Amino acid sequence: MVGLPHYLIVAAIMMCCGVGTILLKRNAIGILLGVELILNAANVNLVAFNRYNANASGNLDGQIFAIFVIVLAAAEAAVALAIFLNFYNNFSTVDVERGDNLKG
C-alpha cells in the first residue's frame, strides 16, 4: 500500500533534480525550469501531508496552499521571462555567466 513516505521520497528526488538543474544550467530559462520543478515538489509534499494528516479534521488546507503556489509559480514565470527578454535585448544571449556587469 502506498503511504506518506512514498510521496515524500518522490518529492525529495524531484526537489534534488530542481536544485541540480539550477546549479548545472547556464541558460537562464533552464534555471527557471529548475525552479518550477522545486515548486512542484513542494506541492506534492503539501498535498501528501494534507491527505495523511495526523489530526483527522478533514480540512483541505494543504490543497489550498498548493493552489496558491501554482498561481505564484505562474506569476513568477511571467515576470522572470520578461526579465530574460530584457537580458537578451541587452546581451544577445541568455547565458547567465554574461550578466556580470556588477562584478567588482
Partner 1 sequence: MNTTLAILAQNSAGAPDGATALINTALFYVFAAMAVGSAIGVMVSRNIVRTAVCLLMALLGVAGLYLGMHAEFLAAVQLVVYAGGTLVLIIFGVMLTNNSTFQLYRPKRLEVVVGSGLVAMLATVLITAILRSGMADRVVTSGNTYAIQTLGEALLGDYLVPFELISVLLLAVMIGAAYLAKGRRREGEGQ
* Residue numbers 17-46 binding partner 1 by CB under 8 A: 17-21, 23-30, 32-34, 36-37, 40, 43-44
Helix (H) or strand (E) holding 13: helix 4-24
Residues 46-85 that bind partner 1 (CB under 8 A): 47-48, 50-61, 63-64, 66-68, 70-75, 77-79, 81-85
Q: Nearest distance from residue 14's CB to partner 1, in Å?
A: 5
# residues near partner 1 by CB under 8 A: 77
Say whether residue 99 binds partner 1 (CB under 8 A). Answer: no
